[in-house]
Structure 1
Amino acid sequence: MTRINSAAALPAAFLLLAACQQKEDNTFEVSGTFPDAAGKKVYLEEVRFDRSNPLIVDSATADKKGSFRLTGSRVEENLYLVQLAGANGPLATLINDGDDITVKADPAKKEVPYTVGGSPASSALAQYMGENNSQLSTIFAYARQQDSLRQQGVSDSLTGSVRTQRSAAADALRRYNLDFVNKSNSPTLTIFALGTYQGYASNPAFGLQPLDRAQLLEILKNATTRFPQHKGLAQVQQSVSGAPAPQPAAPAASALLNKPAPELTMPDANGTPVSLSSFKGKWVLVDFWASWCPPCRAENPNVVQAYNQFKNKNFTVLGVSLDQKKEAWLKAVQADGLAWTQISDLQYWNSAAVGIFGFSSIPYNVLINPEGVIVAEDLRGDALPAKLAEVLK
C-alpha cells in the first residue's frame, strides 16, 4: 500500500536500492536560497538502501537571506534531499548529475515551488513531480466529487460520468509515467518515477493500474541497456527479476494486534489534552495521517464515508496528525471534512505516536474495540467499511 514514510516520502522499494557507496575525491556542491531558511540549519541528505532514513552528508546554517552551500560525495548519480530543520518535508529533491547545482525558492510554482540550475536530471525531476502532482490532484478531486454525490444519496447511475472522468484521468497518468520512464535520460530519475507510480498505484483511492512484474522487467531491461554503468539501476533490476511475487509487508505495529492499545495523550486543536483511553467503551478507529501526505488526503474521503455510515453504532474516529504546522493541519481538517476529534503534538516524525504505535509510514490506522483492544490495523479502501460492518452489527 502506498504510504508516506519517514524517509522523506520517497518510494522506498525502488529508491533505497538505488543508493551507492561514497568515495572522498568526487564531490558536488549545492548552493541554494530559500527565504524561509534564514538563520536556520539546512541539511543535505542522501537516500541510502541500508538505512530507514536518509543519511545526512552535510549541513550549514543559512544566512540572513536564506542562502546556503552544501557539499556531497558521490560515486555515481543518486538522489539527494535538501532538508530544512523543523520543516514538514524537503526544500528540494535533487539528483547529483552536476558539479555545481543551484536551487532557489520560486513561490510562483505551485506544485514544486523551487527552481534548479546546473542539473538537467534535477530539473526533469521537478518537472515530473509537478506534472504528477497536478494529475493526482485531478484524480483526487474526482474522488471527492464521487464521495460528495454518494453522501447526497445520488444513485450510482448518476455518478457514472464522474467515475468515467476519474478513470480517464487515471489512465492518462499511467500513460504519462510510462512515457516518462521510457524516455528518461537519468537512471536515478527512472528509478524514482517507477517507484513513485507503483506506490500510488497500490493505493485504491487513486484507481491507478500498477505495472506487473513483466512490465517492470521490460522497462528495467531497457533502462539498464541505456545506462549499463549504473550500479543502483542494476541492483533494482536484479531485485525485481529475482524476487518472488510481491506480498504485502506486515505493518510495523502488528505486535500490538489483539493486545490492549497503548495510552496516547496529545492536545487537540484548542490545546486541550485528549487521551485515547477516554474513548474506552466505544469502537474507535485511530487514524494516523498528515496534511502534507497525498495518500492520506486521498484516503480521507473513505474515512469520512465510514464515519458517517457507522457513527450512530457506538463508533468514532480519533485523528492523530504528524503535522508540524498547526495552520496547515487545521486547514486540511476543514477542507477534508474531518468531523471527529483531532489531536497532534506537531512534531512531524518525532511525534510520540510514532514510537508508541511503532509505525513507519502513513496513512496508518488501528481499530480498537470497546474493551480497548486493537482488533485490526491498516484498514483502507473497501477493507475499512467491510470490517466495520462485520463488527458493528
Structure 2
Amino acid sequence: MKNKFYFILMLLGFALNNELQAQLKLNGQLGGLSADTISMNYIFKGKQHKDLVVVKSGAFSWTAPIDTPVMVAMKLPFAGETFDYPFFAERGEMQLSGSIQSLDSLFQIRISGSVTQALLQSFIRKRFDLIKQADVLDGLISKSKADSVDMLKHQLSDLQEMIKSGLAEQYIRNNPKNYASVHLLNQLIDARLDYDKANALFQNLDQSLRLSSAGIHAKKDLAILQRSAKGSQLKTFSIPDMDGKIVTLADYKSKILLVDFWASWCVPCRNENSNLLKNYRKYHAKGFDILGISCDTDSIKWKKAVGEDHLPWKQVRDWEILKYYGLQSIPSNFLVDGNGNILGINLTGEILTQKLNEVFSNKNEKSK
C-alpha cells in the first residue's frame, strides 16, 4: 500500500513538473507605462487568447500555459493610441524591459529568455538598419549629378530587394530549426515571394517546424502560391471594364502584359503608378500593356484615381481572381507573356524596368 502511495506521489510530481515546463512566465518593466492593465493577444492551438495583465508602476508579470513558441501582440498605450508590439513567447522564464516614451524607445525594448525572440529581434534590427541605409541613398539620389544617379539607383534597388525579402530569406536558410524561421516564411508567402524560392525555404526547414501548426499553415499557403509560380498559366477571366465592355485574357494574346492589382486608397499603389506610366510609355509600342484590377468598392473614387493618375490602360474591378491567388495585400502584380504564362510576380520600381528591358531585348534577339 505504501509503495502504491509513493508511486501516485511520483506520478503527481512528474505531471506537475511537465506542467511547469509548459508554463511561460514573463516579467516586464516599461518606463512611461502608466496604464493599469495591458493585454497579450495570441493564438495557441487554434484558439484566440486575450490575457489582461495588471500593471503597477510600469511593472507586470504574465503567465500562460504554452509549450511551443507563439507570436504575441502586446497592446501598449502610445501617443493616445494603441500600439501592437509583436514578440515571441515560449515556455520558461522571460524578461522584458525598456521604455515606451518615444517611437525609438519602442524599437529598443529588450526581451530575453527566448531563442525564438532573439532571432526575430536580430532580424528586425538588421532590417531597420537597411531601411535607414535606403533612406540615406534615396536622399543622395535627389542631390546627385546625372552621371552617378544610375549607380546609386542600382544600389538602392539592391537594398530594397534585401528589405523586401532577401534578408528574411537569409535568416530562414541559416536557422532551419528556429521557430522564427517558419514565422518569417509565412510572411514571405503572404507577400507573394516567388514560389520556387518559398518552397525551397520550406523544404529546408527542420521536420519539426514543417509539422508544426505554423508549418502546416505555410504548406497550405504554398499550394495556393504555386498557382502563380513562374511558368504557370494565368487564370482566364472575363470582366467588364469601366465602360462595361468585357475584357478577357485573350485580348492580350501576343503581348507582354502586367496585371496590376491596386486601389485608389492604397498609397503605395498610387506612388507606383508613376513608374508604371513611365514603363508603359517606353514599351507600349513594342508590345507591352497593363491591365489594372482594382479592389475598390467605391466606383466614384476608383474612376477619380484613374483620372488623377492619368492611367491610359484598361481598368476593371474583380475580387474572385484575388481570392484564387490568395492575394492579401496590394500593390501586387503578375507579368505574363503572350500565351498567358507567368514571367514574374510583384515587379515594381527599377526591378520592373530591368525585367521589361530583359524581356524585350530577348524578343529582339529572337527576331533577328
If the length of structure 1 is used for normalisation, what is the TM-score?
0.49
Q: Is the 8 A contact 2:71 2:89 kept in 1?
A: yes
Q: Secondary structure at the match of 2:83?
A: coil
Q: Is the 8 A contact 1:57 1:72 kept in 2?
A: no
Q: Is the 8 A contact 1:46 1:57 kept in 2?
A: yes
Structure with bigger helix share is 2
Cα pair distance change 1:195/1:239, threshold 3 Å: closer
Q: Which residue of 1 aligns with 2:41?
A: 45
Deviation, 1:59, is 0.9
Deviation, 1:144, is 5.6
Cα pair distance change 1:228/1:245, threshold 3 Å: closer
Cα pair distance change 1:50/1:387, threshold 3 Å: farther
Structure with bigger strand share is 2
Cα pair distance change 1:235/1:242, threshold 3 Å: same
Listed one character per residue, the Cα deviations across residues 58-86 of structure 1 (whole Å, up to 9, x for unaligned) are 1123112x011122233532211221246
Q: Is the 8 A contact 1:39 1:62 kept in 2?
A: yes
Quick one: which of 60, 76, 83 aligns to 1:68?
Answer: 60
Q: Which residue of 2 aligns with 1:168?
A: 158
Q: Which residue of 2 aligns with 1:184?
A: 175
| Alpha-carbon separation, structure 1, partners of 2:210 and 2:314 | 53
RMSD of equivalent CA atoms: 4.5
Deviation, 1:133, is 2.0
1:96 pairs with 2:89: yes
If the length of structure 2 is used for normalisation, what is the TM-score?
0.52
Counterparts of residues 144-293 of structure 1 (less than 5 Å) = 146=141, 148=142, 159-173=149-163, 174-184=165-175, 187-197=178-188, 211-225=193-207, 227=209, 229-241=211-223, 244-246=226-228, 287=265
Deviation, 1:47, is 4.3
The one-letter code of the counterpart of 1:60 is: V
Structure number with larger C-alpha Rg: 2
Listed one character per residue, the Cα deviations across residues 114-153 of structure 1 (whole Å, up to 9, x for unaligned) are 101111211221111111122133234434655x46xx9x
Q: Secondary structure at the match of 1:37?
A: coil
Deviation, 1:222, is 1.6
| Alpha-carbon separation, structure 2, partners of 1:186 and 1:110 | 30
Question: Which runs of 5 or more structure 2 residues have no equivalent in the other structure?
Answer: 1-18, 230-240, 243-262, 276-293, 316-368
Deviation, 1:229, is 4.9
| Alpha-carbon separation, structure 1, partners of 2:150 and 2:40 | 47
Deviation, 1:109, is 6.7
| Alpha-carbon separation, structure 2, partners of 1:115 and 1:104 | 5
- Greater mean alpha carbon deviation, residues 70-79 or residues 235-244: 235-244
Cα pair distance change 1:88/1:388, threshold 3 Å: farther
Counterparts of residues 76-155 of structure 1 (less than 5 Å) = 76-85=68-77, 87-91=81-85, 93-105=86-98, 112-143=107-138, 146=141, 148=142
Listed one character per residue, the Cα deviations across residues 299-353 of structure 1 (whole Å, up to 9, x for unaligned) are 79669x79xxxxxxxxxxxxxxxxxxxxxxxxxxxxxxxxxxxxxxxxxxxxxxx
| Alpha-carbon separation, structure 1, partners of 2:149 and 2:181 | 37
Q: Is the 8 A contact 1:367 1:377 kept in 2?
A: no
Question: Which runs of 5 or more structure 1 residues have no equivalent in the other structure?
Answer: 1-23, 203-209, 248-256, 259-284, 289-295, 307-363
The one-letter code of the counterpart of 1:82 is: M
Q: Secondary structure at the match of 1:245?
A: helix
| Alpha-carbon separation, structure 2, partners of 1:111 and 1:170 | 24
Listed one character per residue, the Cα deviations across residues 204-235 of structure 1 (whole Å, up to 9, x for unaligned) are xxxxxx63112211111121436355232133
Cα pair distance change 1:243/1:102, threshold 3 Å: same
Q: Which residue of 2 aligns with 1:318?
A: none
The one-letter code of the counterpart of 1:72 is: A
Cα pair distance change 1:224/1:241, threshold 3 Å: farther
RCO (CA 8 Å, sep 6+): is it higher in 1 or 2?
Answer: 1
| Alpha-carbon separation, structure 1, partners of 2:32 and 2:201 | 40
Deviation, 1:388, is 8.0
| Alpha-carbon separation, structure 1, partners of 2:83 and 2:201 | 30
| Alpha-carbon separation, structure 2, partners of 1:72 and 1:160 | 53
Determine what percentage of the aligned residue pairs are the same residue: 7
Listed one character per residue, the Cα deviations across residues 353-392 of structure 1 (whole Å, up to 9, x for unaligned) are xxxxxxxxxxx996989xxx2335998xxx984538999x
Listed one character per residue, the Cα deviations across residues 9-66 of structure 1 (whole Å, up to 9, x for unaligned) are xxxxxxxxxxxxxxx9843122211122223321111047979xxx4431123112x0
Cα pair distance change 1:140/1:187, threshold 3 Å: same
Deviation, 1:240, is 0.9
| Alpha-carbon separation, structure 1, partners of 2:311 and 2:217 | 39
Listed one character per residue, the Cα deviations across residues 232-264 of structure 1 (whole Å, up to 9, x for unaligned) are 2133124313655249xxxxxxxxx98xxxxxx
Q: Is the 8 A contact 1:286 1:367 kept in 2?
A: no
